[in-house]
Amino acid sequence: MRFKDVFSIIGPSMVGPSSSHTAGAARMGRVARQLLGSQPVKAEIVFYGSFADTYRGHGTDLAIVGGILDMATDDLRIPDSLKLAEEAGIQVTIRTGTAVTSHPNTAKMTLWSDSRTVEVIGASIGGGNIEVLGVDGFDVKFIAMYPTVCVYHTDRPGMLAELTGVLSRAGINIGHMDVDRKQRNGEALTVIEADSSFPDEAVAEILGLKDVTDVRIVDLEGGESAT
Amino acid sequence: MRFRTLQELEALSTSENVSIGRLMLREQSQESGRAPEEEFRKMADYWQVMKEAVRRGLTEDTTSRSGLTGRDAQRVMKRVECGESSLGDAAARTMAYALAVSEVNASMGRIIATPTAGSCGIIPGVFVSSQERFGWSDEEMTFGLFAAGAIGYVIANNSFVSGAEGGCQAEVGSAIGMAAGALTELRGGTPEQAVHAVGLALKNTLGLICDPVGGLVEIPCIVRNGFGAVTALAASDMALAGVRSVIPSDEVIQVMLEVGTKMPEKHRETAKGGLAATPTGRKIMENLYGKKRK
Protein backbone atom coordinates (compact mmCIF):
# COMPACT_ATOMS: atom_id res chain seq x y z
CA MET A 1 0.00 0.00 0.00
CA ARG A 2 1.48 3.34 -1.03
CA PHE A 3 -0.72 5.26 1.37
CA LYS A 4 -0.61 3.74 4.81
CA ASP A 5 -3.08 5.64 6.95
CA VAL A 6 -5.87 8.19 7.11
CA PHE A 7 -3.50 11.10 7.72
CA SER A 8 -1.65 10.49 4.48
CA ILE A 9 -5.04 11.29 2.84
CA ILE A 10 -6.45 13.95 5.19
CA GLY A 11 -3.35 16.02 5.90
CA PRO A 12 -0.78 17.30 6.37
CA SER A 13 -1.76 20.56 7.98
CA MET A 14 0.24 22.99 5.90
CA VAL A 15 0.80 26.47 4.61
CA GLY A 16 -0.14 26.57 0.89
CA PRO A 17 -0.05 26.55 -2.01
CA SER A 18 1.34 23.14 -2.97
CA SER A 19 1.77 19.93 -1.01
CA SER A 20 4.75 18.95 -3.16
CA HIS A 21 6.32 22.37 -3.80
CA THR A 22 5.62 23.93 -0.40
CA ALA A 23 4.91 21.36 2.36
CA GLY A 24 7.42 18.86 0.96
CA ALA A 25 10.04 21.60 0.63
CA ALA A 26 9.51 22.71 4.24
CA ARG A 27 10.03 19.13 5.42
CA MET A 28 13.22 18.82 3.35
CA GLY A 29 14.62 22.01 4.87
CA ARG A 30 13.80 20.77 8.34
CA VAL A 31 15.58 17.45 7.73
CA ALA A 32 18.73 19.36 6.76
CA ARG A 33 18.40 21.56 9.84
CA GLN A 34 18.05 18.56 12.14
CA LEU A 35 21.03 16.85 10.52
CA LEU A 36 23.11 19.95 11.16
CA GLY A 37 21.85 19.90 14.73
CA SER A 38 21.58 23.66 15.23
CA GLN A 39 20.62 26.92 13.57
CA PRO A 40 22.96 27.42 10.60
CA VAL A 41 24.97 30.59 9.98
CA LYS A 42 24.89 30.00 6.25
CA ALA A 43 22.64 28.04 3.87
CA GLU A 44 22.94 27.35 0.17
CA ILE A 45 20.00 25.85 -1.71
CA VAL A 46 20.07 24.58 -5.28
CA PHE A 47 16.75 23.77 -7.00
CA TYR A 48 16.46 21.30 -9.88
CA GLY A 49 13.71 20.31 -12.34
CA SER A 50 10.22 21.58 -11.61
CA PHE A 51 11.49 23.18 -8.40
CA ALA A 52 13.90 25.26 -10.48
CA ASP A 53 11.14 26.25 -12.94
CA THR A 54 8.42 27.29 -10.53
CA TYR A 55 9.89 27.77 -7.06
CA ARG A 56 9.01 31.46 -6.88
CA GLY A 57 5.33 31.00 -7.64
CA HIS A 58 4.97 28.18 -5.12
CA GLY A 59 7.00 29.76 -2.35
CA THR A 60 9.32 26.75 -2.43
CA ASP A 61 12.19 29.05 -1.40
CA LEU A 62 10.21 30.38 1.56
CA ALA A 63 9.16 26.88 2.59
CA ILE A 64 12.61 25.33 2.45
CA VAL A 65 14.13 28.25 4.39
CA GLY A 66 11.24 27.94 6.87
CA GLY A 67 12.20 24.31 7.35
CA ILE A 68 15.83 25.31 7.86
CA LEU A 69 14.55 27.64 10.61
CA ASP A 70 12.93 24.51 12.15
CA MET A 71 9.36 25.40 11.14
CA ALA A 72 6.74 22.68 10.66
CA THR A 73 4.72 22.51 7.41
CA ASP A 74 1.85 24.52 8.92
CA ASP A 75 3.90 27.28 10.54
CA LEU A 76 2.32 30.61 9.60
CA ARG A 77 5.73 32.29 9.65
CA ILE A 78 6.75 30.40 6.46
CA PRO A 79 5.75 33.30 4.12
CA ASP A 80 8.17 35.55 6.08
CA SER A 81 10.98 33.01 6.42
CA LEU A 82 13.51 34.75 4.15
CA LYS A 83 13.15 37.94 6.16
CA LEU A 84 13.34 36.02 9.46
CA ALA A 85 16.48 34.22 8.28
CA GLU A 86 18.08 37.53 7.43
CA GLU A 87 17.15 38.95 10.82
CA ALA A 88 18.66 35.86 12.46
CA GLY A 89 21.90 36.60 10.63
CA ILE A 90 21.73 33.54 8.37
CA GLN A 91 23.31 34.07 4.99
CA VAL A 92 20.96 32.38 2.48
CA THR A 93 21.83 31.74 -1.17
CA ILE A 94 19.31 30.27 -3.61
CA ARG A 95 20.35 29.02 -7.04
CA THR A 96 18.91 26.83 -9.76
CA GLY A 97 20.83 23.93 -11.28
CA THR A 98 20.46 22.11 -14.56
CA ALA A 99 21.67 18.65 -13.54
CA VAL A 100 19.34 15.83 -14.55
CA THR A 101 17.80 14.34 -11.42
CA SER A 102 15.76 11.19 -10.96
CA HIS A 103 12.79 13.13 -9.60
CA PRO A 104 11.44 16.46 -10.97
CA ASN A 105 11.24 18.14 -7.55
CA THR A 106 14.78 17.88 -6.24
CA ALA A 107 16.86 20.23 -4.09
CA LYS A 108 20.37 20.22 -2.69
CA MET A 109 20.82 21.98 0.64
CA THR A 110 24.17 22.80 2.22
CA LEU A 111 24.14 24.21 5.73
CA TRP A 112 27.01 25.56 7.79
CA SER A 113 27.20 26.09 11.54
CA ASP A 114 30.35 27.32 13.29
CA SER A 115 31.50 23.76 13.84
CA ARG A 116 29.89 21.68 11.14
CA THR A 117 28.68 21.43 7.54
CA VAL A 118 25.98 19.18 6.17
CA GLU A 119 24.90 18.56 2.59
CA VAL A 120 21.51 16.97 1.93
CA ILE A 121 19.91 16.03 -1.39
CA GLY A 122 16.20 15.35 -1.31
CA ALA A 123 13.13 15.11 -3.49
CA SER A 124 9.52 16.04 -2.85
CA ILE A 125 7.50 13.11 -4.17
CA GLY A 126 3.91 14.38 -3.75
CA GLY A 127 1.32 15.06 -1.09
CA GLY A 128 3.97 16.56 1.19
CA ASN A 129 5.93 13.31 1.25
CA ILE A 130 9.67 13.47 0.69
CA GLU A 131 12.59 11.21 0.04
CA VAL A 132 16.09 12.04 1.22
CA LEU A 133 18.46 10.73 -1.44
CA GLY A 134 21.86 11.60 -0.04
CA VAL A 135 23.63 13.00 3.00
CA ASP A 136 27.20 14.34 2.93
CA GLY A 137 27.99 12.47 -0.27
CA PHE A 138 26.63 9.14 1.00
CA ASP A 139 23.85 7.56 -1.08
CA VAL A 140 21.40 6.84 1.70
CA LYS A 141 17.63 6.96 1.37
CA PHE A 142 14.98 7.68 3.97
CA ILE A 143 11.58 9.34 4.01
CA ALA A 144 11.60 11.22 7.36
CA MET A 145 8.17 9.87 8.29
CA TYR A 146 9.62 7.98 11.23
CA PRO A 147 12.20 8.80 13.89
CA THR A 148 15.49 8.37 12.04
CA VAL A 149 19.02 8.04 13.37
CA CYS A 150 22.03 8.81 11.14
CA VAL A 151 25.26 7.27 12.42
CA TYR A 152 28.60 8.35 10.95
CA HIS A 153 31.19 5.64 11.51
CA THR A 154 34.15 3.75 10.13
CA ASP A 155 33.39 0.76 7.93
CA ARG A 156 34.47 -2.34 9.86
CA PRO A 157 33.18 -5.84 10.71
CA GLY A 158 30.69 -5.92 13.57
CA MET A 159 29.77 -2.24 13.40
CA LEU A 160 26.15 -2.82 12.40
CA ALA A 161 25.72 -5.63 14.92
CA GLU A 162 26.84 -3.34 17.73
CA LEU A 163 24.62 -0.55 16.48
CA THR A 164 21.50 -2.67 16.11
CA GLY A 165 22.36 -4.30 19.45
CA VAL A 166 21.95 -0.94 21.19
CA LEU A 167 18.56 -0.45 19.54
CA SER A 168 17.51 -3.99 20.35
CA ARG A 169 18.30 -3.51 24.04
CA ALA A 170 16.35 -0.24 24.01
CA GLY A 171 13.34 -2.11 22.59
CA ILE A 172 13.35 -0.12 19.35
CA ASN A 173 12.01 -1.81 16.23
CA ILE A 174 13.81 -1.01 12.95
CA GLY A 175 11.49 -0.36 10.02
CA HIS A 176 14.08 0.38 7.36
CA MET A 177 17.83 0.87 7.13
CA ASP A 178 20.38 1.96 4.57
CA VAL A 179 24.19 1.94 4.61
CA ASP A 180 26.72 3.52 2.30
CA ARG A 181 30.49 3.90 2.54
CA LYS A 182 33.00 6.08 0.74
CA GLN A 183 35.39 3.13 0.44
CA ARG A 184 36.23 -0.19 2.07
CA ASN A 185 37.31 0.39 5.68
CA GLY A 186 36.60 4.08 5.09
CA GLU A 187 33.95 6.52 6.24
CA ALA A 188 30.41 5.16 6.30
CA LEU A 189 26.93 6.38 7.11
CA THR A 190 24.17 4.17 8.44
CA VAL A 191 20.60 5.44 8.49
CA ILE A 192 17.94 3.68 10.52
CA GLU A 193 14.21 4.45 10.54
CA ALA A 194 12.48 3.20 13.66
CA ASP A 195 8.91 2.72 14.87
CA SER A 196 9.52 4.74 18.04
CA SER A 197 11.72 7.66 19.03
CA PHE A 198 15.29 7.21 20.26
CA PRO A 199 15.83 7.73 24.00
CA ASP A 200 18.78 9.99 24.89
CA GLU A 201 20.58 7.09 26.61
CA ALA A 202 20.46 4.97 23.43
CA VAL A 203 21.82 7.88 21.37
CA ALA A 204 24.62 8.39 23.90
CA GLU A 205 25.42 4.69 23.85
CA ILE A 206 25.66 4.69 20.04
CA LEU A 207 27.92 7.73 20.13
CA GLY A 208 30.12 5.85 22.63
CA LEU A 209 30.61 2.85 20.32
CA LYS A 210 34.13 2.39 18.97
CA ASP A 211 34.62 3.99 15.52
CA VAL A 212 31.37 6.00 15.68
CA THR A 213 32.22 9.61 14.87
CA ASP A 214 28.84 11.33 15.00
CA VAL A 215 25.13 10.67 15.53
CA ARG A 216 22.25 12.79 14.26
CA ILE A 217 18.52 12.38 14.85
CA VAL A 218 15.80 13.40 12.40
CA ASP A 219 12.30 13.42 13.87
CA LEU A 220 9.84 15.69 12.05
CA GLU A 221 6.72 14.38 13.76
CA GLY A 222 8.17 14.99 17.19
CA GLY A 223 8.19 18.75 16.84
CA GLU A 224 5.21 19.41 14.60
CA SER A 225 2.54 21.54 16.13
CA ALA A 226 -0.32 19.74 14.42
CA THR A 227 0.50 16.33 15.80
CA MET B 1 -6.35 -1.61 7.29
CA ARG B 2 -8.70 -4.54 6.77
CA PHE B 3 -10.10 -3.20 3.49
CA ARG B 4 -8.63 -2.47 0.08
CA THR B 5 -11.78 -1.72 -1.89
CA LEU B 6 -14.94 0.29 -1.34
CA GLN B 7 -16.90 -2.96 -1.52
CA GLU B 8 -14.84 -4.36 1.37
CA LEU B 9 -15.25 -1.10 3.27
CA GLU B 10 -19.01 -1.22 2.80
CA ALA B 11 -19.18 -4.90 3.79
CA LEU B 12 -17.14 -4.37 6.97
CA SER B 13 -19.14 -1.33 7.94
CA THR B 14 -22.45 -3.13 7.31
CA SER B 15 -21.53 -6.41 9.02
CA GLU B 16 -20.08 -4.68 12.08
CA ASN B 17 -23.01 -2.27 12.16
CA VAL B 18 -20.79 0.78 12.46
CA SER B 19 -20.48 3.92 10.34
CA ILE B 20 -17.62 4.21 7.86
CA GLY B 21 -16.18 7.08 9.92
CA ARG B 22 -16.15 5.10 13.18
CA LEU B 23 -14.77 2.05 11.44
CA MET B 24 -11.95 4.13 9.97
CA LEU B 25 -11.00 5.53 13.38
CA ARG B 26 -10.65 1.97 14.72
CA GLU B 27 -8.61 0.88 11.70
CA GLN B 28 -6.40 3.95 11.96
CA SER B 29 -5.68 3.32 15.63
CA GLN B 30 -4.82 -0.30 14.82
CA GLU B 31 -2.46 0.81 12.03
CA SER B 32 -0.66 3.56 13.95
CA GLY B 33 -0.51 1.86 17.33
CA ARG B 34 -1.82 5.07 18.92
CA ALA B 35 -4.98 5.34 21.04
CA PRO B 36 -8.23 6.13 19.18
CA GLU B 37 -8.63 9.25 21.36
CA GLU B 38 -5.24 10.54 20.19
CA GLU B 39 -6.06 9.94 16.52
CA PHE B 40 -9.48 11.53 16.97
CA ARG B 41 -7.93 14.60 18.56
CA LYS B 42 -5.55 15.05 15.63
CA MET B 43 -8.45 14.92 13.16
CA ALA B 44 -10.50 17.27 15.36
CA ASP B 45 -7.60 19.74 15.22
CA TYR B 46 -7.55 19.44 11.43
CA TRP B 47 -11.29 20.21 11.41
CA GLN B 48 -10.64 23.45 13.29
CA VAL B 49 -7.97 24.40 10.73
CA MET B 50 -10.51 23.84 7.95
CA LYS B 51 -13.12 26.05 9.61
CA GLU B 52 -10.55 28.76 10.20
CA ALA B 53 -9.49 28.60 6.53
CA VAL B 54 -13.11 29.17 5.43
CA ARG B 55 -13.38 32.15 7.78
CA ARG B 56 -10.12 33.67 6.56
CA GLY B 57 -10.97 33.18 2.91
CA LEU B 58 -14.26 35.00 3.38
CA THR B 59 -12.86 37.92 5.36
CA GLU B 60 -9.18 38.49 4.64
CA ASP B 61 -7.11 39.50 1.63
CA THR B 62 -6.37 36.30 -0.30
CA THR B 63 -4.38 37.80 -3.16
CA SER B 64 -1.88 35.14 -4.17
CA ARG B 65 1.89 35.62 -4.32
CA SER B 66 1.67 35.77 -8.13
CA GLY B 67 -1.17 38.30 -7.94
CA LEU B 68 -3.26 36.24 -10.35
CA THR B 69 -6.03 35.25 -7.96
CA GLY B 70 -7.79 36.29 -4.76
CA ARG B 71 -11.07 37.42 -3.18
CA ASP B 72 -13.30 35.46 -5.57
CA ALA B 73 -14.97 33.70 -2.63
CA GLN B 74 -15.93 37.12 -1.28
CA ARG B 75 -17.40 38.12 -4.65
CA VAL B 76 -19.53 34.98 -4.71
CA MET B 77 -20.62 35.47 -1.08
CA LYS B 78 -21.81 38.97 -1.86
CA ARG B 79 -24.10 37.58 -4.55
CA VAL B 80 -25.35 34.87 -2.19
CA GLU B 81 -26.15 37.45 0.46
CA CYS B 82 -28.15 39.51 -2.06
CA GLY B 83 -30.25 36.41 -2.73
CA GLU B 84 -29.19 36.50 -6.37
CA SER B 85 -27.55 33.11 -6.71
CA SER B 86 -29.02 30.84 -9.37
CA LEU B 87 -27.73 27.82 -7.45
CA GLY B 88 -29.72 28.75 -4.39
CA ASP B 89 -28.38 29.69 -1.00
CA ALA B 90 -27.12 26.32 0.22
CA ALA B 91 -25.16 25.23 -2.84
CA ALA B 92 -23.82 28.72 -3.50
CA ARG B 93 -22.48 28.93 0.06
CA THR B 94 -20.81 25.57 -0.36
CA MET B 95 -19.18 26.88 -3.52
CA ALA B 96 -18.06 30.12 -1.86
CA TYR B 97 -16.56 28.27 1.11
CA ALA B 98 -14.64 25.93 -1.19
CA LEU B 99 -13.29 28.89 -3.15
CA ALA B 100 -12.37 30.57 0.14
CA VAL B 101 -10.18 27.68 1.31
CA SER B 102 -8.52 27.30 -2.09
CA GLU B 103 -7.73 31.00 -2.11
CA VAL B 104 -6.28 30.81 1.40
CA ASN B 105 -4.07 28.02 0.05
CA ALA B 106 -2.96 30.05 -2.97
CA SER B 107 -2.08 32.99 -0.71
CA MET B 108 0.13 30.83 1.55
CA GLY B 109 -2.37 30.50 4.36
CA ARG B 110 -2.87 27.38 6.46
CA ILE B 111 -4.98 24.53 5.08
CA ILE B 112 -5.31 20.76 5.36
CA ALA B 113 -4.35 18.83 2.23
CA THR B 114 -7.52 16.83 1.37
CA PRO B 115 -6.12 14.81 -0.29
CA THR B 116 -3.78 17.45 -1.77
CA ALA B 117 -3.34 21.20 -1.44
CA GLY B 118 -4.68 21.62 -4.99
CA SER B 119 -8.00 20.08 -3.93
CA CYS B 120 -8.07 21.40 -0.38
CA GLY B 121 -11.26 23.47 -0.77
CA ILE B 122 -13.82 20.79 -1.62
CA ILE B 123 -14.15 18.89 1.66
CA PRO B 124 -14.12 22.00 3.89
CA GLY B 125 -16.57 23.72 1.52
CA VAL B 126 -19.04 20.85 1.76
CA PHE B 127 -18.44 20.15 5.45
CA VAL B 128 -18.47 23.68 6.88
CA SER B 129 -21.55 24.78 4.93
CA SER B 130 -23.38 21.55 5.82
CA GLN B 131 -22.54 21.88 9.50
CA GLU B 132 -24.04 25.38 9.52
CA ARG B 133 -27.12 24.20 7.68
CA PHE B 134 -27.83 20.98 9.57
CA GLY B 135 -26.44 21.86 12.99
CA TRP B 136 -24.10 18.89 13.31
CA SER B 137 -21.57 18.78 16.17
CA ASP B 138 -17.82 19.06 15.68
CA GLU B 139 -17.59 15.44 16.82
CA GLU B 140 -19.88 14.30 14.00
CA MET B 141 -17.88 16.37 11.51
CA THR B 142 -14.65 14.77 12.72
CA PHE B 143 -16.09 11.29 12.17
CA GLY B 144 -17.17 12.56 8.76
CA LEU B 145 -13.53 13.38 8.01
CA PHE B 146 -12.54 9.84 8.96
CA ALA B 147 -15.19 8.60 6.50
CA ALA B 148 -13.80 10.87 3.78
CA GLY B 149 -10.32 9.59 4.63
CA ALA B 150 -11.43 5.96 4.31
CA ILE B 151 -12.80 6.62 0.83
CA GLY B 152 -9.66 8.54 -0.16
CA TYR B 153 -7.48 5.75 1.19
CA VAL B 154 -9.15 3.28 -1.19
CA ILE B 155 -8.95 5.64 -4.17
CA ALA B 156 -5.29 6.54 -3.49
CA ASN B 157 -4.15 2.93 -3.14
CA ASN B 158 -6.05 1.65 -6.16
CA SER B 159 -5.50 4.61 -8.45
CA PHE B 160 -3.92 7.96 -7.54
CA VAL B 161 -4.59 11.31 -5.87
CA SER B 162 -1.97 13.58 -7.42
CA GLY B 163 -2.30 15.62 -10.59
CA ALA B 164 1.25 14.76 -11.61
CA GLU B 165 0.32 11.08 -11.73
CA GLY B 166 -3.29 11.05 -12.86
CA GLY B 167 -4.44 14.54 -13.83
CA CYS B 168 -7.02 16.71 -12.09
CA GLN B 169 -9.49 13.80 -11.96
CA ALA B 170 -7.14 12.30 -9.37
CA GLU B 171 -7.02 15.41 -7.17
CA VAL B 172 -10.27 17.31 -7.53
CA GLY B 173 -12.13 14.17 -8.67
CA SER B 174 -11.01 12.19 -5.62
CA ALA B 175 -11.88 15.02 -3.27
CA ILE B 176 -15.39 15.24 -4.72
CA GLY B 177 -15.87 11.49 -4.29
CA MET B 178 -14.62 11.67 -0.71
CA ALA B 179 -16.87 14.63 0.13
CA ALA B 180 -19.91 13.06 -1.56
CA GLY B 181 -19.54 9.75 0.28
CA ALA B 182 -18.89 11.35 3.66
CA LEU B 183 -21.80 13.79 3.27
CA THR B 184 -24.10 10.90 2.41
CA GLU B 185 -23.13 9.19 5.65
CA LEU B 186 -23.47 12.39 7.68
CA ARG B 187 -26.98 12.85 6.32
CA GLY B 188 -27.99 9.40 7.54
CA GLY B 189 -27.33 7.37 4.41
CA THR B 190 -26.24 3.73 4.60
CA PRO B 191 -22.65 2.65 3.82
CA GLU B 192 -24.05 1.30 0.54
CA GLN B 193 -25.49 4.69 -0.38
CA ALA B 194 -22.24 6.42 0.61
CA VAL B 195 -20.28 4.14 -1.71
CA HIS B 196 -22.74 4.78 -4.55
CA ALA B 197 -22.23 8.51 -4.03
CA VAL B 198 -18.49 8.04 -4.56
CA GLY B 199 -18.99 6.23 -7.85
CA LEU B 200 -21.57 8.73 -9.09
CA ALA B 201 -19.23 11.62 -8.31
CA LEU B 202 -16.09 10.07 -9.78
CA LYS B 203 -17.83 9.33 -13.07
CA ASN B 204 -18.42 13.03 -13.53
CA THR B 205 -14.72 13.99 -13.40
CA LEU B 206 -13.13 11.13 -15.34
CA GLY B 207 -10.66 12.50 -17.85
CA LEU B 208 -10.17 15.89 -16.23
CA ILE B 209 -6.63 17.05 -17.01
CA CYS B 210 -4.23 18.93 -14.72
CA ASP B 211 -3.16 22.04 -16.61
CA PRO B 212 -2.27 24.74 -14.10
CA VAL B 213 -1.30 28.09 -15.63
CA GLY B 214 2.33 28.82 -14.81
CA GLY B 215 2.42 25.57 -12.84
CA LEU B 216 0.72 27.36 -9.96
CA VAL B 217 -2.12 26.01 -7.82
CA GLU B 218 -4.36 28.87 -8.91
CA ILE B 219 -5.81 28.75 -12.44
CA PRO B 220 -7.97 26.68 -12.93
CA CYS B 221 -7.52 24.88 -9.58
CA ILE B 222 -9.42 27.37 -7.44
CA VAL B 223 -12.61 27.50 -9.50
CA ARG B 224 -12.51 23.72 -9.93
CA ASN B 225 -12.68 23.45 -6.15
CA GLY B 226 -15.79 25.66 -6.21
CA PHE B 227 -17.45 23.58 -8.92
CA GLY B 228 -16.31 20.36 -7.25
CA ALA B 229 -17.96 21.14 -3.94
CA VAL B 230 -21.31 21.70 -5.67
CA THR B 231 -20.93 18.42 -7.55
CA ALA B 232 -20.36 16.59 -4.26
CA LEU B 233 -23.72 17.88 -2.99
CA ALA B 234 -25.37 16.69 -6.20
CA ALA B 235 -23.83 13.20 -6.03
CA SER B 236 -24.87 12.83 -2.40
CA ASP B 237 -28.42 13.92 -3.17
CA MET B 238 -28.66 11.37 -5.96
CA ALA B 239 -27.34 8.56 -3.76
CA LEU B 240 -29.67 9.44 -0.87
CA ALA B 241 -32.58 9.51 -3.32
CA GLY B 242 -31.75 5.93 -4.29
CA VAL B 243 -29.78 6.57 -7.48
CA ARG B 244 -27.18 3.82 -7.85
CA SER B 245 -23.83 3.77 -9.56
CA VAL B 246 -24.57 0.88 -11.92
CA ILE B 247 -20.87 0.56 -12.68
CA PRO B 248 -19.62 -0.27 -9.16
CA SER B 249 -17.55 2.49 -7.57
CA ASP B 250 -14.45 0.26 -7.38
CA GLU B 251 -14.66 -0.26 -11.14
CA VAL B 252 -14.98 3.50 -11.68
CA ILE B 253 -11.75 3.94 -9.67
CA GLN B 254 -10.09 1.50 -12.07
CA VAL B 255 -11.28 3.64 -14.99
CA MET B 256 -9.66 6.66 -13.35
CA LEU B 257 -6.44 4.67 -13.16
CA GLU B 258 -6.75 3.63 -16.82
CA VAL B 259 -7.46 7.16 -18.03
CA GLY B 260 -4.78 8.74 -15.85
CA THR B 261 -2.12 6.27 -16.93
CA LYS B 262 -2.87 7.04 -20.58
CA MET B 263 -3.00 10.81 -20.01
CA PRO B 264 -0.20 12.66 -21.87
CA GLU B 265 2.53 14.08 -19.66
CA LYS B 266 1.68 17.60 -20.81
CA HIS B 267 -1.70 17.22 -19.13
CA ARG B 268 -0.32 16.06 -15.81
CA GLU B 269 0.75 19.14 -13.83
CA THR B 270 3.69 20.02 -16.06
CA ALA B 271 2.13 23.30 -17.25
CA LYS B 272 3.03 22.29 -20.81
CA GLY B 273 -0.49 21.69 -22.13
CA GLY B 274 -4.13 22.58 -21.71
CA LEU B 275 -4.96 25.98 -20.23
CA ALA B 276 -1.30 26.53 -19.33
CA ALA B 277 -0.28 26.34 -23.00
CA THR B 278 -2.90 28.73 -24.37
CA PRO B 279 -1.59 32.07 -25.72
CA THR B 280 -2.75 33.79 -22.53
CA GLY B 281 -1.44 31.01 -20.32
CA ARG B 282 1.98 31.29 -21.95
CA LYS B 283 1.99 35.06 -21.61
CA ILE B 284 1.22 34.79 -17.89
CA MET B 285 4.06 32.31 -17.50
CA GLU B 286 6.52 34.61 -19.27
CA ASN B 287 5.50 37.47 -17.03
CA LEU B 288 5.98 35.30 -13.94
CA TYR B 289 9.28 33.72 -14.78
CA GLY B 290 10.66 36.05 -17.41
CA LYS B 291 11.48 33.36 -19.92
CA LYS B 292 9.90 31.09 -22.46
CA ARG B 293 9.50 27.46 -21.57
CA LYS B 294 9.61 24.73 -24.17
Superfamily of domain A148-222: ACT domain (3.30.70.260)
Q: What is the distance between the alpha carbons of residues B199 and B236, in angstroms, rounded to a whole number?
A: 10
**Interface probe, candidates B101, B107, B110, chain A, greatest A C-beta count within 10 A:** B110
Residue B200 near chain A (CB below 8 Å): no
Please tell me the predicted confidence (pLDDT) of residue A56: 84
Q: Is B141 domain-assigned?
A: yes
Beta-bridge partner residues of A105: A49
Q: Mean pLDDT for chain A? A: 93
% helix / strand / coil in chain B, to the nearest 5? Answer: 70, 0, 30
Chain CA centroid to CA B11, Å = 24
B83 to chain A, minimum CA–CA distance in Å? 32
Q: What domain range includes position B47? A: 6-289
| Tens-digit pLDDT profile for residues A152-194 | 999 999 999 999 999 999 999 999 999 999 999 999 999 999 9
Q: Is B273 domain-assigned?
A: yes
Residue B85 near chain A (CB below 8 Å): no
ipTM: 0.95
Question: Using a CB-CB distance cutoff of 8 angstroms, which residues of chain A are in contact with residue B33?
Answer: 195
SS3 state at A36: helix
Contact A16 B111 (CB under 8 A): yes
Look up the pTM and report it.
0.91
Chain CA centroid to CA B106, Å = 16
Q: Which phi and psi (to 5°) does residue B259 adopt?
A: -65, -40
Domain with residue B81: its CATH number is 1.10.4100
Half-sphere exposure in the Cβ direction for B31 (13 Å, CA): 19
- How many domains does chain B fold into? 1
Smallest Cβ–Cβ distance between B153 and the set A6, A16, A195 belongs to A6
Beta-bridge partner residues of B7: none
CB B39 within 8 A of CB B25: yes
**Chain A interface, Cβ < 8 Å to B:** 1-20, 22-23, 50, 53-54, 56-59, 62, 74, 76, 78-79, 104, 126-128, 195, 226-227
In CATH, what is the architecture of A13-137?
A: 2-Layer Sandwich (3.30)
Instruction: Count Cβ–Cβ pairs < 8 Å, chain A vs chain B.
Output: 153
Smallest Cβ–Cβ distance between A10 and the set B145, B217, B271 belongs to B145
Q: Walk along chain B (294 residues) and give the pLDDT tens digit of each residue.
A: 999 999 999 999 999 999 999 999 999 999 988 999 999 999 999 999 999 999 999 999 999 988 999 999 999 999 999 999 999 999 999 999 999 999 999 999 999 999 999 999 999 999 999 999 999 999 999 999 999 999 999 999 999 998 888 999 999 999 999 999 999 999 999 999 999 999 999 999 999 999 999 989 999 999 999 999 999 999 999 999 999 999 999 999 999 999 999 999 899 988 899 999 999 999 999 998 875 444
Q: Is B1 domain-assigned?
A: no
| Tens-digit pLDDT profile for residues B199-233 | 999 999 999 999 999 989 999 999 999 999 999 99
The domain locations on chain A are 13-137, 148-222
| Tens-digit pLDDT profile for residues A42-77 | 999 999 988 988 888 889 999 999 999 999 999 999
CB B123 within 8 A of CB B242: no
Q: What is the distance between the alpha carbons of residues B24 and A174, in angstroms, rounded to a whole number?
A: 26
Helices (H), ranges, chain A:
24-36, 49-58, 60-68, 81-87, 159-169, 200-207, 220-223
Half-sphere exposure in the Cβ direction for B185 (13 Å, CA): 32
What one-character-per-residue DSSP string does A123-175 give?
EEEETTEEEEEEETTB---B-SSS-EEEEEEE--TTHHHHHHHHHHHTTPPEE
Smallest Cβ–Cβ distance between B113 and the set A12, A58, A78 belongs to A12
Handedness of CA B54, B56, B58, B61 (dihedral sign): negative
CB B136 within 8 A of CB B187: no
Q: Which phi and psi (to 5°) does residue A154 adopt?
A: -90, 140
